[in-house]
Structure 1
Amino acid sequence: MAFDHLPPALADALGARDYQTLTPVQSQVIEAGAHGRDLLVSAQTGSGKTVAFGLAMADELLADGRLPFASAPLALIVAPTRELALQVSRELGWLYAATGARIATCVGGMDASRERRALNQGVHIVVGTPGRLRDHLERGALDLAALRVAVLDEADEMLDMGFREDLEEILDATPETRRTLLFSATIPKPIAQLAKRYQRDALRISTVGEDRGHGDIAYQVVTVAPADIESAVINLLRLHDAETAMLFCATRDNVRRLHARLVNRGFAAVALSGEHSQNERNQALQALRDRRARVCVATDVAARGIDLPSLSLVVHVEIPRDAETLQHRSGRTGRAGKKGTAVLIVPYPRRRRVDAMLRGARIDAEWTGAPTADDVRARDRERLIEALLAPIEHDEEDIELGRRLLAERAPEEIAAALVRAHRATMPLPEELIDNGPPPRRERGERAEREPRERGGHRDGFDDSVWFRLNIGRRHNADPRWILPLLCRRGHVTKHEIGAIRIGPNETLFNIPLAIADRFAEAVERSANKDGEDDNGVAITPAPGGATWPPRREGGPRKDGPRKPHGKPGGFKAKPFGKGKPRAPR
């Protein structure tokens, strides 16, 4: 379509990029009522904000479709991270290419002397991060006296990262006649205060209601046993076979560990976190754009501003801290009208928290189990058949080689060799500890339960100590994933764990007396300051042993609690973590 209401240079640039229509935020910032006014804009990641403020500030910058001679900067865009600032610079570069715009980037981790030389030579638009811009300002390299437009991109994130003082010093150095455009995913109280101080009669624009949850993103929630998280990641990558996928972790250490495992398993993966230099980040992103890498493991901050057109899968390996973080992460995909998939990997004990987060964000997600190795192999077969049966052109050399193979081997043998060669290029899927709920039984069929789940006596556990988990049936507790959790936290084998009794809100299990102290110390070392693991599971000594009897065929016991197998007084339970002994029920 023709963008007749835009400056010709910008309209031609949009047409060259195959823009058919503008997004809601882009349309609203160029309406007649917004012309020349300060803007306070709420818009989600991936809604086209960069092009939006590029269009909005055109009237202040362009004269007869061109920019004037470059002396002092006319426009300043401040972004929270290096990647976002570089992305904004690239977007404005093609949008203003025909206007003769000179754009400079000033971000941490880059050569500051080169940035100062670019500023001294004259630029029209400066894009940078708060810390580096403040540094250039204090050194006299950045002159904002002639500034006409100031843009704060993702202002809420900049305040969360502690850049308030930097922003205030930068804005205080600009003329009062400037136009201020403030873009933020949300407008909390600190953003409102910043807008009140630096904006005049700002027009409030919000497209959050229209974009909430990203209509082009399909959300899935995969529930797994805590010990199956990394295996589920591998199976998800194999099942979706995305051209580019991004995996989000909470810490640098987790990024490093997951990246190492994926590379070891044969995935072409790169890592992005705060410990990487700008040069390393640039190389990782270029590898993704060149298709030399297909998987990126990143922390939240490192992934801000990354725009990869081929990114179709986002996996939240660790649960985001809130709904806004969830949408910022997921917004890396489903951009510019393309479809994307966002998958949250949720350990069973944390289902309620994620369910509440999704409801608060008004996101409709599909809940499912993790893909098994059989699921991946079945999808591989479908993809292989599609690839081999797709029509392609053959040259004479290929046909001659095919005739030679058919003369020496049967067609079935050649096809089998081709399948084997295809599979050899792909990482093997993982076998999960928990493959989902057991099959439903027909009416009248008697269930055979494991001795651990029955809570019955096991040989060798006459002298034992009882411990307690703060999860039960209401938290989807199941011996199939509780058992590996206990082995990992307590540094024991499955044969050293006795009966497991699952109640509505808690679970009891017993450990041989001889290793109880060692088990308790290992659990304490593997817990955080609250006495829990990363999934909120706490293990504490059970006060007085097992406090309720196992179920019997005749129904619940009527004659009071059953005495525990362990001998009272044989083990002095030391409270560890946040667990405190309670009075027996």
Structure 2
Amino acid sequence: MTIDTLAGPLQAALAAKGYSQLTPVQEAVLAPELDGRDMLVSAQTGSGKTVAFGLAMSPQVMGGIDNFLPADKPMALIIAPTRELALQVQRELVWLYEGAVVASCVGGMDYRTEKRALDRGAHIVVGTPGRLRDHVERRSLDLSELAVVVLDEADEMLDMGFADDLEFLLGSAPEEKRVLMFSATVPREIAKLAETYQRDARRVEVKSTASQHADIEYKAISVSNRDKEPAIFNVLRWYDARCAIVFVKTRANVNHLHARMVNRGFPVVALSGELSQSERLHALQALRDGRARVCIATDVAARGIDLPGLDLVIHADLPSNSETLLHRSGRTGRAGNKGTSVLVVPQAEFRKANRLLQGAKLVAEWGKAPGADEVQSREDERLISDPSLLEGMGEDTAIAANLLEAHSSEAIAAAFVRLWRAKRSAPEELAEDLPPPAPLPPRERGEFGASVWYKLSVGHEGRAEARWLLPKICEAGGIAKDGIGAIRVQQNVTFVQIAEQLASRFKEVTEIEPGLTMERQAEAPEFGPKGRVAGDAPRKPYARREEGDAPRKPYARREEGDAPRKPYARRDEGDAPRKPWAGRDEGDAPRKPYVRREEGDAPRKPWAGRDEGDAPRKPYARREEGDAPRKPYARREDSDAPRRSFERRDGDAPSKPRWTPTDGERPMRDDRPAKPGPRSAGFKSHGGSPERPARSSGFKSHGEGNFDRKPRGEGGAEGRPFAKREGGKFDGPRPAGSKPFGAKPFGAKPAAPRGDAKDTSKRFVPPKGPRK
């Protein structure tokens, strides 16, 4: 199918974008036999999949008409794994379907703005799985009239853990819908998802006629671990790409490398999952505008982003698999442009890099990182061929003439070179270049083969361990761990076995780090049966340390000729019983109960357990003189008579009341014992104490205190309720019209205002009328 067979609006949109012919994947999805059917499409990165599924869903979106009707409920739903990819798909569909309403629903954006856009209606909705599910659950997105669902980068969405969200969205859509899945690879999970939610789907696999990533040049540079970051800086200076991206594994690596590059003056931005959506958009816009030329990102953050003019991809951290390597490198070399993909390979990851390249069916050119002199020479060539030197004088003729009159041409040229170099940091000095190590010959398990022994200047006294020394030795020689054999840690030194093929990478005396050296040995040391070097002094036995003692030597392995330790001896029958914890036998006299021991008492016999037939022990009860023995607790059985419930019997004397009413009055209890004052006494809520009485007393909730109010006269019926009366009695009920208790404490007077202080006891009444 060609562009001429498409609908009129689509032909006009493609022509406006400069499309002369369709790509292979775009032609494959428009085949007549695939019209209206579900598809599972796999094509390499950068092959035009976005426009492909935009053309494939045109019959369901346009419905055979050239102009779109007013938007109501969405007819197409596109699901993308990341925010950037979703927004990129939205931009592509906006120019492809001119006149259609394309709404986006991505995380990090304002939910209310998206909801208002959905309420106004949309023909196509593009979003990420999590945010789309939120809109569906909150009933702001109606999928009842959905005709087609597109899953872009479906494999990546499953890797990111969106399987549940995808199943929810596909299950919420109508059964009579078309499902299109686009992915660079089709793993088992994608095939299983297609079988569940697609009906009679057709598998479309598009392979490019040219070799994979033919427009991308792959290079692999071998560096030592300590030169990894300087090598990245030199590679960026060497290529001087208009736009470059550096891939790392974690967010922490992004922040670390970003700080290092900012200090060196690189125009760099960072992309990671911890950034907000606005920060991510600003970073991408800086790359598109040219304000930034380098982007440091993780695999997830950079998935789906399309940066125009991306010429260089650097793998600072090697990817975990070959598919990720292809996805990373696919950011460059698009639309017929050339690109370069550089793998920074430490010596310990040489074999992993080869496996990744073989799995991706790629061939890389191995070499070393550019050194400081090479980078400086390359930049000098750019200086001489700078386009500004070829331009005419223009308006700067006068000042140029003044410079030539005031200074010589040599001085002006030297100043120009200094100003040019001042914009950039100095190239990084790298250590001695190390070629990739040759693979070691296969050997049988347990045999290391020909080797050379080295002695390290640290041992047990320096807390040396094999797991601490192994990475340091690998870094010092630029070798992998399989090139190291035995590591024997001694008292003061450590012996290490290095494969003979790799021994040339170490000097006679190599300084691994300050204070730690590695010296080559003429012959292999002789070790004892326990791994210790023969002739070492035996270790002193353990002794309890006292103040002032010399420091103890660390543990040393025992050697031949040492006196053997006494082994543990199991006790046999006939041996004398061990004191004092000898086991009890049948027939022994019972042990006496516990009695506090006094000086001169005979030693106590050990405790003996109680046997069957012994008299039961009486339960615990506090005994008084003359008390009868207490009966033990007996558990009630089902056949026992039920306990009698409490009933007041007729004729019984009534219980003594807590107070006795007298003439309608209620006396206050004065027989309660006084409570001790709290730690912080003196406050009205704490009751006071004899040493420090309560500060403010006289409230009914504070108990009896220092009532300052004078008692009313006898017979004063108008007294307040619960007020202390003379004789310790209280009056009757409060008369009508009296103030309730609590309006003002007894004896309390309002404090007089000081100076010009305002009286705050009155309520503020706002003025009437509008404010002037």
Q: What is the rounded CA distance, in whole Å, between the counterparts of 1:505 and 1:247 in structure 2?
A: 41
Quote how far apart the aligned CAs of 1:473 are: 6.4
Higher RCO (CA-CA < 8 Å; seq separation 6+): 1
- Looking at structure 1, the residues matched to 309 and 154 of structure 2 have their Cα atoms a distance apart, in angstroms, of 27
1:31-70 residue pairs with structure 2 within 5 A?
Answer: 31-62=31-62, 63-70=64-71
Letter in 2 for 1:170: L
- How far has the Cα of 1:39 moved from its partner? 1.1
Larger Rg: 2
How much has 1:36 moved relative to structure 2? 1.7
1:421 aligns with 2:419: yes
CA shift digits 1:182-218 (9 cap, x unpaired): 0111111111111111112222111246476312111
Q: Is the Cα contact below 8 Å between 2:155 and 2:190 reproduced in 1?
A: yes
1:50·1:88 contact (CA, 8 Å) conserved in 2?
Answer: yes
Match of 1:432 in 2: 430
Aligned counterpart, 1:454: none
Counterpart Cα distance in 2 of 1:505 and 1:473: 16
The equivalences for 1:111-510 within 5 A come to 111-208=110-207, 210=209, 213-387=212-386, 391-395=390-394, 397-436=395-434, 474=439, 509-510=454-455
8 Å CA contact 2:269, 2:296 repeated in 1: yes
Match of 2:488 in 1: 542
Contact kept, 8 Å, 1:549 with 1:561, in 2: the verdict is no
Q: CA deviation at 1:511?
A: 2.6
Report the alpha carbon displacement of residue 149 of structure 1 after superposing the two structures with TM: 1.0
CA distance in 2, matches of 1:388, 1:517: 60
Q: Please state if 1:101 is matched with 2:46.
A: no
Q: Secondary structure at the match of 1:263?
A: helix
Asked if 1:11 corresponds to 2:11, the answer is yes
Counterpart CA distance in 2 for 1:548 and 1:347 is 22
> What's the CA shift for 1:110?
0.9
Measure the CA separation in 2 of the matches of 1:507 and 1:20: 66
Residue 21 of structure 1 deviates from its aligned partner by 2.5
1:347-402 CA distance string (max 9 Å, x none): 1121111112111211121111111111111111111111157632331x312222
Aligned residue for 2:246, secondary structure, equals strand
Measure the CA separation in 2 of the matches of 1:168 and 1:212: 36
List gaps (5 residues or longer) in structure 1.
439-471, 477-502, 528-533, 553-558, 575-585
Q: Report which stretch shifted further, 418-427 or 292-301.
A: 418-427
Deviation of residue 172 (structure 1)?
Answer: 1.0
Report the TM-score when normalising by structure 2: 0.60
Q: Deviations over 1:22-58 (max 9, x none)?
A: 2211121112222222111001221111111111111
Write 1 or 2 for the structure with the bigger share of helix.
1
What is the Cα deviation at residue 88 of structure 1?
0.7
Deviation of the 1:561 alpha carbon: 3.7
Deviation at 1:542, TM superposition (A): 2.8
SS across alignment from 1:542: strand
CA 1:354–1:475 in 2, change beyond 3 Å: closer, same or farther?
farther
- What does the per-residue CA deviation read over 1:47-85, in whole Å, with 9 as the maximum and x for residues that have no partner? 111111111111221133222221100100001111111
Asked if residue 110 in structure 1 is aligned to residue 55 in structure 2, the reply is no
Count of aligned residue pairs for this structure pair? 500
> Is the alpha carbon distance of 1:258 and 1:507 closer, same or farther for their aligned partners in structure 2, counting shifts above 3 Å?
farther
SS in 1 for 2:385: helix
Preserved CA contact (<8 Å) 1:508 1:542 = no
When residues 410 and 560 of structure 1 are mapped into structure 2, their CA distance, relative to the original with a 3 A threshold, is closer
**Counterparts in 2 of 1:219 and 1:140: CA distance versus 1, 3 Å:** same
Change (3 A) 1:313 1:504: farther
Once residues 346 and 294 of structure 1 are traced to their aligned partners in structure 2, the CA distance between those partners, rounded to angstroms, is 23
Corresponding residue SS for 1:418: helix
Query: What is the one-letter code of the residue matched to 1:65?
Result: D
Offset from partner CA, 1:101-146 (integer Å, 9 cap, x none): 1011111111111111111110000001111111111111111111
Distance 1:504 1:259 in 2: 44
Task: Name the counterpart of 1:20.
Answer: 20
2:457 is aligned with 1:512:
yes
Q: Which residue of 1 aligns with 2:73?
A: 72
Alpha-carbon distance in 2 for matches of 1:429, 1:573? 50
Separation of aligned partners in 1, 2:523 and 2:462: 30
Residue 507 of structure 1: CA displacement? 7.7
Q: 1 CA distance for matches of 2:319 and 2:376? A: 30
Contact 2:452 2:524 in 1 (8 A): no
Give the direction of change, closer, same or farther, for the CA distance of 1:404–1:147 in structure 2 (3 Å limit): same
Distance, in Å, in 2 between the alignment partners of 1:47 and 1:572 is 66
Identical counterparts, % of pairs = 50
Q: CA deviation at 1:519?
A: 4.8
1:450-491 per-position Cα deviation (integer Å, ceiling 9, x unaligned) = xxxxxxxxxxxxxxxxxxxxxx86479xxxxxxxxxxxxxxx
Asked if structure 2 preserves the Cα contact closer than 8 Å seen for 1:270 and 1:296, the reply is: yes
Q: What's the RMSD between the two structures over aligned residues?
A: 3.2
Matched residue SS, 1:89? helix
Q: Specify whether residues 475 and 153 from structure 1 end up closer, same or farther in structure 2 by C-alpha distance, changes over 3 A only.
A: farther
Q: Output the CA distance in 1 between the equivalents of 2:143 and 2:450.
A: 61
Q: Secondary structure at the match of 2:313?
A: strand
Normalising by structure 1, report the TM-score. Answer: 0.79
Q: Deviations over 1:487-529 (max 9, x none)?
A: xxxxxxxxxxxxxxxx9798864332478634549938989xx
Which amino acid in structure 2 is aligned with residue 120 of structure 1? D
The residue type equivalent to 2:45 in the other structure is T
Counterpart CA distance in 2 for 1:307 and 1:290 is: 14
